[in-house]
């Protein structure tokens, strides 16, 4: 078991950390679920920063990641990554989900972060099967920890007990 990874059952907006990862959508203008909670708790500064990114590069593509201020959240930055919508499984969903974790790690590492919290990207309204999403997330996070040495601590924050139990079982089997 990798001791740098902690599985937490809770609300990602309440946990102090360097980077909070948001499961955003391509528009970067906020949405429901964790995206809504991050914008609500973080305040207008986050939306303003997202609008600047939109003006510059027209949003964020699936699998990519951009960084903004964390506003009022207990973090230095928010990284917004866009998870894939589940569409049967043969539409690059796995690679796109991997890229969300990997690109978030790269951006976090490049910005001097030592700790990062991830939500369970794509497992809400984007409907990615939860077991599969958890395996992909854990594998990509474990690989990234070997590659990007600035990051000392990764929180996987599960809002739903179902996801928490899936991750607990998976991590104990590693």
The residues of the shown chain that bind ligand ADP, judged by CB under 6 A, are: 11-13, 23, 33-35, 37, 83, 119-126, 157, 159-160, 163
Residue nearer to ligand ADP on the CB measure, 63 or 119: 119
Q: What are the CA-CA distances from residue 168 to residues 124, 131, 154, 163 (Å)? A: 19, 11, 14, 9
Structure tokens at 12: 């990602």
Cβ 98 to ligand ADP shortest distance, Å: 14
Residue nearer to ligand ADP on the CB measure, 109 or 123: 123
Cβ 67 to ligand ADP shortest distance, Å: 18
55 by Cβ neighbours in 10 Å (0-12 / 13-18 / 19+) ranks as exposed
Neighbours of 111 (CB within 10 A): 14
The beta strand positions in the chain, using DSSP E, are 5-9, 19-24, 65-69, 77-82, 115-118, 153-158
Of the residues 11, 18, 35, 143, only one is catalytic, namely 35
- 35 as an active site residue: the answer is yes
Cβ 169 to ligand ADP shortest distance, Å: 16
Residue nearer to ligand ADP on the CB measure, 5 or 23: 23
> Using CA atoms, how far apart are residues 119 and 21, in angstroms rounded to an integer?
7
The region that residue 12 occupies, defined by phi over 0 for left and psi between -120 and 50 for alpha, beta otherwise, is alpha
Cβ 143 to ligand ADP shortest distance, Å: 21
Residue nearer to ligand ADP on the CB measure, 62 or 113: 62
**Positions marked catalytic:** 35
């Amino acid at each position: 078991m990798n001791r740098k990874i902690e599985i937490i059952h809770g609300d990602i907006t309440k946990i102090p950390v360097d980077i909070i990862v948001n499961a955003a959508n391509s528009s970067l203008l906020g949405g429901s679920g964790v995206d809504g909670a991050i914008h609500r708790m973080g305040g207008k500064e986050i939306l303003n920063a997202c609008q600047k990114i939109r003006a510059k590069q027209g949003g964020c593509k699936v699998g990519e990641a951009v960084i903004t201020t964390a506003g009022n959240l207990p973090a230095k930055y928010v990284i917004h990554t866009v998870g894939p919508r589940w569409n049967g499984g043969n539409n690059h969903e796995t690679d796109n989900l991997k890229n969300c974790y990997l690109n978030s790690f790269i951006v976090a590492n490049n910005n001097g972060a030592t700790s990062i919290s991830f939500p369970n990207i794509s497992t809400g309204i984007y409907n990615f099967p939860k077991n599969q999403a958890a395996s992909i997330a854990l594998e990509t996070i474990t690989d990234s920890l070997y590659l990007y040495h600035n990051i000392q601590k990764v929180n996987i924050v599960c809002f739903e007990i179902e996801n928490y139990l899936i991750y607990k079982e998976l991590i104990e089997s590693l």
